[in-house]
């Protein structure tokens, strides 16, 4: 029987000719990732088990992005533990204030993941890198500790769902709308521990940023990973960027899928996920009665330069509603600098927004935009669970940068074509 892309990558890294869904394997990894929230637990696990080394100082990556720059004493202590560990082991991939960015935007930008890689990260949105033709997935801090020490991890080979994409996106529609629309159709457990494999003629019309956004939120459908085929756009993105040679894996024609779901990209409207689950997806045009207190444009999902440009395009020459606090967070230092060079920061400030240093910040209810009871935010982040961005009686509506920026101007949720 043929194998999917994911199954082929897992087989290659396990040293096996083939693998089958449900099979338990041990495989070598190309990169182990942790951040200032998850790394300290892994570091302590290493120490508790008497392990005083990492398997490869060039393949263990620590990014201080959740509470950095440090917001309080606890976060400062967490980051110091990571810094001390990175210094002690001479880690080559350590990103601190001034060099760091939101991890899942930073790693692709810096070429630390390439096609054919197997990457594990102590963060659920590690599945982002499937956009590059890699197998990447989130694991717990104990598993990351083992991966950091041995360079290996265990996996249950996932079943797969194929999403056959056709057509092209309408104006103001992006990868964020696509994944919200898909999750709205299949639910937050619709791909539970499965591989979401995207294919079809519509793939070519999606930018790499669209694909990164779609794979980033595969976990919100319960998936083990999301993955796109390697095509010309992938190779162009990786060329001169990737630190390892790309290896292309293609699904076999007779690969087995639990189901095939047809997706007409041209039929997807600007979409918003209502509280308190990403599956509560509705067309933005149906939610115009929802008034807002805050807008957040950023995160590992939508903090890339294309997201900043789209938001600036909507905001140019306009002002955000006086009631809507608008927070823009470029995802990395390079993106922030590009925003400065292109005049996007000026546009944001003139529109009445504030611009933050790269950080996960408010996405996980950390800092830089916590909500009070009864407040509503529209955000380009990836989760809108109860209390996700602050008080349990607050609400988060997930949207694309275009929808978020347009809604910040209107003071309520709106289709960007109407601003």
The stretches in the chain having pLDDT less than 70 are: none
Domain ranges of the chain: 5-264, 273-418
Beta bridge pairs of residue 271:
283
Supply the pLDDT for residue 417: 85
Supply the pLDDT for residue 118: 98
CB 34 within 8 A of CB 279: no
Supply the pLDDT for residue 51: 87
Supply the pLDDT for residue 274: 97
- The region, left, alpha or beta by phi > 0 then psi within -120 to 50, assigned to residue 215 is alpha
- Asked if 5-264 and 273-418 have one fold, the answer is yes
From the candidate CATH numbers 3.10.580.10, 3.30.499.10, 3.40.190.10, 3.30.830.10, the one assigned to the domain spanning 5-264: 3.30.499.10
Taking CA atoms, 7 is separated from 14, 20, 22, 180, 246, in Å, by 10, 7, 11, 26, 17
19: enclosing H helix or E strand: none
Cα–Cα distance for residue pair 216/230, rounded to 1 Å:
17
The architecture CATH gives domain 273-418: 2-Layer Sandwich (3.30)
Can you give the pTM of this predicted structure?
0.95
Cα–Cα distance for residue pair 387/219, rounded to 1 Å:
19
Cα–Cα distance for residue pair 293/375, rounded to 1 Å:
6
Supply the pLDDT for residue 419: 73
Length of the chain: 419
Q: Where are the alpha helices (DSSP H) in 170-266?
A: 175-186, 208-216, 232-238
Sign of the alpha-carbon dihedral angle for 219, 224, 228, 230: positive
Cα–Cα distance for residue pair 144/43, rounded to 1 Å:
9
């Amino acid at each position: 029987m043929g194998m999917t892309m994911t199954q082929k990558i897992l087989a290659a890294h396990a040293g096996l000719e083939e693998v089958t869904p449900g099979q338990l394997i041990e495989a070598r990894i190309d990169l182990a990732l942790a951040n200032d929230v998850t790394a300290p637990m892994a570091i302590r696990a290493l120490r508790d088990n008497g392990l005083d080394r990492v398997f490869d100082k060039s393949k263990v990556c620590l990014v201080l992005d959740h509470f950095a720059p440090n917001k309080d004493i606890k976060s400062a202590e967490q980051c110091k533990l990571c810094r001390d560990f990175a210094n002690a082991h001479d880690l080559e991939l350590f990103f601190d204030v001034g060099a760091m960015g939101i991890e899942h935007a930073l790693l692709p930008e810096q070429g630390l993941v390439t096609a054919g890689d197997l990457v594990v990260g102590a963060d659920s949105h590690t599945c982002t890198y499937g956009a590059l033709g890699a197998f990447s997935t989130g694991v717990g801090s104990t598993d990351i500790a083992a991966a950091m020490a041995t360079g290996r991890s265990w996996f249950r080979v996932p079943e797969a769902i194929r999403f056959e994409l056709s057509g092209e996106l309408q104006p103001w529609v992006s990868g964020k709308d696509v994944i919200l629309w898909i999750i709205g159709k299949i639910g937050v457990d619709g791909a539970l521990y499965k591989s979401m494999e995207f294919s079809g003629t519509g793939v070519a019309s999606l930018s790499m940023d669209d694909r990164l956004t779609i794979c980033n939120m595969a976990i919100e459908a319960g998936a083990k990973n999301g993955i796109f085929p390697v095509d010309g756009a992938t190779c162009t993105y990786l060329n001169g960027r990737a630190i390892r040679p790309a290896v292309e894996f293609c699904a076999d024609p007779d690969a087995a899928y639990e189901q095939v779901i047809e997706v007409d990209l041209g039929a997807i409207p600007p979409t918003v996920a209502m509280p308190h689950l990403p599956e509560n997806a509705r067309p933005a045009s149906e939610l115009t009665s929802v008034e807002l207190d805050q807008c957040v444009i950023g995160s590992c999902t939508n903090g890339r330069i294309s997201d900043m440009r789209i938001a600036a395009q909507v905001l140019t020459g306009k002002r955000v509603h006086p009631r809507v606090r608008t927070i823009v967070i470029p995802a990395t230092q390079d993106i922030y600098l590009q925003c400065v060079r292109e005049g996007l920061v000026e546009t944001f400030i003139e529109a009445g927004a504030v611009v933050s240093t790269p950080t996960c910040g408010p996405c996980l209810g950390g800092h830089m935009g916590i909500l009070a009871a009864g407040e509503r935010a529209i955000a380009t982040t990836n989760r809108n669970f109860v209390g996700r961005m602050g008080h349990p009686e607050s609400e988060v509506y997930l949207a694309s940068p275009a929808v978020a920026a347009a809604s910040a101007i209107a003071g309520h949720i709106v289709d960007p074509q109407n601003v």
